[in-house]
Chains A and B, each alone.
Chain A
Amino acid sequence: MEKYIVELERIHKSFAGVKVLQDVRFSLKSGEVMALLGENGAGKSTLMKILSGVYTRDSGDMRIFEREQGDLTTKMAQELGIAIIHQELNMCRHLTVAENIFLGRESKKGIILNNKEMVRETTKVLQSLKIDLDPNTVVGELPVSKQQMVEIAKALSIQAKVLVMDEPTSALTSKEIDELFRIIKQLRQDGCGIVYISHRLEELSHLADRVTVLRDGRFIMEGDFNDYTMDQLIAKMVGRDIAEKFPRITCKKGKKILEVKELNSGPLVRDVNLEVCEGEIVGIAGLMGAGRTETTRAIFGIDPKDSGEIILNGKPVAIKKPLDAIKAGIVLAPEDRKKDGLCTKLSVRDNLALPNLDWISGIAGKVNRKKEMELADKAVSELNIKLANLDINAESLSGGNQQKVVIGKWLARDSKVVIFDEPTRGVDVGAKVEIYNLMNKLKQNGTGVVFVSSELPEVMGISDRILVMCDGRITGEIARSEATEDKILTYATEFETKI
């Protein structure tokens, strides 16, 4: 019988009067993977931040390794053996791998840092995880997936007995996910207790032993993972049954609206041809680094094009910068919403108004307050964005609601083509369906939709036609009726040269 190593009971927490956690309990045994589920804003991250000492609870009991704990600091939690890998990567990008792994607990000889030993220890940890990395690489120069591996290595190097992973796979390729799962299973065998937060229920079925569900800051249920079906878990998370995970509508395909011919832009966009018709959703699938995002960036005029033509409604348009694309009627909801999609320090209203200032401002550029309010109200009600009021900062919204704001920016314009780059990344099940419905609505209104996604089920579920990219080229085109995961993956790994 495994011991309970973490027991949280009657945990309460509020931020500025808003109750984020109410009477929540949570437990973790050694040698198990506990899935922690809930929609965005359900309080999962807050609960885990309390466990790891980032926040302190307002009230409640916390027993760790069978000992009552008062308020923890991050350092105390680390010393207890609790490590957390945050959703947003927390690395010092100017420091090396070894420097990051030993940050805050550097080994020293006298007062001098013992770099040799730290590099040696880092090599050891990386080797035990079978991660191929030079400890002296500067972290900022690594791809996101490798940075995540560094975070895991960091957690393990403090001999963590409790490891919390908040959405660890959202930026990983399927090969890297396999690698991660291998590591997690190894840790479980070594007696580590692992809390795994994810919106990808499919992947949890390979991994999770037990499951805890939170909703709106309250405890909903706890049980053995295999006793429940996916649909039951989803119903518990959202508090209602979701009729269809991938709702789709059929409507008449109209005339060709966007045509991209022989587009080249850097090494990851090579001879790309694509067509989008009115009332059609074109999915673009592929592995990480296949050039999907780069393609959308080139079309939208963010990255310079080396060659190629963009034809809108039969007429070639010159797109040298995003403003040209917007004026022509092509808009993009980018992949990284915090970096490219939102001005996080500005209010939700300001964000929604930003790309529309041209038509809502009048003489001398004075913003028409009334038009601005109408626009914002309309976006909020149409997209069902949950917020206290329009004047709160965009960064205070949960991931799903932030994504809706990114999309809402563009809806007020009558765009001909809308490009969505990973619109459901880090977004909960309920909000995902809302985003799908929104794409469907655009499609119904005769807009051409381009939908880039790494999650095969949703690409296959929502798109009318799927393009697959690999190594900067489009390697395949599959009609919806013929799409299978195998087929897509075959195209997605069609490298010109083996790496």
Chain B
Amino acid sequence: MNEKKSNWLNRALAARGVRSVVTATVGFVILFIIFSIMSPSFRSGSNIQNLFRQIAPTLIIGIGQAYVLITGNIDLSIGSVVGMSCMTAGTLMCKGMHPIIACLLTLAASLVVGLLNGTLVAKLKLPSFIATLGTMTLARGLAQLVNNNHNTDFIGNTAQSFRDLLYYGSFLKVFNAVWIAIILWVIFNFLLSKTRTGRHIYAVGSNLDAAKLSGVNSFWTILITYVVSAFCACLTGLILLASAGMGTMDAGTTYEMYAVAAGVIGGISTLGGTGILAGVIAGAGIWGILQNGLQFVGAPVALRNIIIGIIVILAVMLDIVTRTNRKKVKKP
């Protein structure tokens, strides 16, 4: 009985990188405690609220990037789609369009980029790094084109309701943006862990040929991941628009890399096939708490960046070290 139980535990820990999620979560808690001790204002209620609001966009794009990473690909266009979404919705709202219609149009435009990414990678077999490097530049160009190479005006006059909902609004003291992130996570976690599509995403990332030979539609599977990624980027763009109150052309710049970092810290391999979506929560959490906490303990921007960079490298190193150690122990 006892043996059976430990087997179950071992298996749970071994499955798809649960171990890294545990490590990252512990890391998050430790950082939280350290910052709380060092800075009283960090642990104040309003900052905790803010902290989670800061984490939300990283979590959302992290979900999208995780989908793509698990298939063994990458989506570099995320940041640009965030910018494009922010600018498109901002421009339309300034022109007086109803926010809901503006958002739907923006979503449609973003999903086109996702479909394009998926087609280039899965149908035309372009390396994902190159394909999405192309669409990254393309989407940023579109973000600049929408409003004639200008940031938009303040949207508060025409679309205050939109800002109220996505920026100021809260429920149970938790900002709506955080709720959106949570709901998305629940839906996409379900899709990834409980459905056939999710299983195929892992299979494609683990061994594309084996998946194909087993009758998995690899084109469809990869296409879905890019559409999910574009969808998440679009929502993040809308959240940034609501928070800034205006569309900015460079919104979301380098966000695709934040998304990669959130995934990698949370144990999602860039080589595909492993990782679970819970890792993105831990990864985005660490990313957000470092940004926020280091500010409160008075670290200058330069130092913050250096520390975060080091943490990303350490997270991956830790993963590699524990993995090789486990292998060594395995031998009889």
Contact = CB atoms under 8 A, between A and B. Distances in A.
Given A108-B196, A113-B195, A113-B196, A95 B202 contact: yes
Contacts of B209: 90
B207 A91 contact: yes
Contacts of B195: 108, 111-113
A94 B202 contact: yes
A86 B210 CA distance: 10
B317 interface: no
Interface stretch (A99-107, A225-233, A364-372): A99-107
A104 B330 contact: no
Determine chain A's interface SS by DSSP, over half rule: loop
Give the interface residue-count category, chain A: 20 to 34
B226 to A, nearest CB: 21
A90 B210 contact: yes
Most chain A beta-carbon neighbours within 10 Å: one of B15, B209, B213, B332: B213
Interface in B199-248: 199-200, 202-203, 205-207, 209-216
Contacts of A95: 199, 202-203, 206, 273
B11 interface: yes
Contact of A104 (B14, B215, B274): B215
Contacts, number: 81
B5 interface: no
A106 B273 contact: no
Interface residues of B, number: 28
Interface in B1-39: 11, 14-16
A104 B273 contact: no
B124 to A, nearest CB: 19
Contacts of B210: 90-92, 100, 103
A78 B196 contact: no
Given A112-B195, A113-B199, A94 B213 contact: no
B203 A103 contact: yes
A446 B11 CA distance: 53
Contacts of A268: 331
B173 interface: no
A98 to B, nearest CB: 11
A266 B331 contact: yes
Contact of B216 (A96, A104, A113, A267): A104
B7 to A, nearest CB: 8
B222 to A, nearest CB: 15
Contact of B202 (A92, A104, A105, A111): A92
Nearest to A103: B214
Given A92-B273, A94-B16, A104 B11 contact: no
Contact of B14 (A54, A113, A138): A138
Contacts of B214: 74, 90, 103-105
A99 B211 CA distance: 11
B206 A92 contact: yes
B330 A106 contact: no
B213 A74 contact: yes
A54 B212 CA distance: 9
Interface string B66-79: 00000000000000
A396 interface: no
A86 B273 CA distance: 21
A113 B215 CA distance: 17
A136 interface: yes
Given A104-B211, A113-B194, A94 B216 contact: no
Interface in A69-122: 73-75, 78, 84, 86, 90-96, 99-100, 103-106, 108, 111-113
A336 interface: no
Most chain B beta-carbon neighbours within 10 Å: one of A86, A99, A104, A108: A104
Contact of B213 (A86, A99, A141): A86
Contacts of B15: 96, 138
B37 to A, nearest CB: 40
B211 A105 contact: no
Contacts of B216: 103-104
Contacts of A74: 212-215
A111 B200 CA distance: 14
Contacts of A99: 199, 202-203
A123 B172 CA distance: 47
Given A113-B195, A138-B15, A90 B213 contact: yes
Contacts of B213: 54, 74, 84, 86, 90
A147 B200 CA distance: 20
Nearest to A52: B213
Nearest to B205: A94
Contacts of A113: 194-196, 198-199
A75 B213 CA distance: 8
A287 to B, nearest CB: 14
A105 B215 contact: yes
A103 B331 CA distance: 29
A272 B277 CA distance: 48
A138 B323 CA distance: 14
Contacts of A73: 215
Nearest to A90: B210
Contacts of A106: 196, 199
A54 B214 CA distance: 10
B295 to A, nearest CB: 38
A73 B16 CA distance: 31
Most chain B beta-carbon neighbours within 10 Å: one of A54, A78, A103, A138: A103
Nearest to B194: A112
A108 B199 CA distance: 12
Interface string B179-199: 000000000000000111011
A92 B203 contact: yes
A164 to B, nearest CB: 12
A74 B206 CA distance: 19
A499 B213 CA distance: 37
Given A95-B202, A112-B194, A113-B194, A90 B207 contact: yes
Most chain B beta-carbon neighbours within 10 Å: one of A90, A91, A99, A141: A90
A94 B332 contact: no
B302 to A, nearest CB: 39
A266 B329 CA distance: 11
Contacts of A93: 206-207, 273
A108 B197 CA distance: 11
Interface in B238-274: 273-274
A106 B215 CA distance: 11
Nearest to A92: B206
Nearest to A86: B213
A257 B210 CA distance: 46
Which 4 residue pairs are nearest across A and B when measured between Cβ atoms? A92-B206, A104-B215, A104-B214, A94-B273
15 contacts: A74-B212, A74-B213, A91-B210, A92-B202, A93-B207, A94-B206, A94-B273, A99-B203, A103-B210, A104-B200, A104-B215, A108-B196, A138-B14, A138-B15, A267-B332
Given A99-B199, A108-B196, A111-B195, 8 more contacts: A86-B213, A93-B206, A94-B205, A95-B206, A100-B210, A113-B198, A138-B14, A268-B331
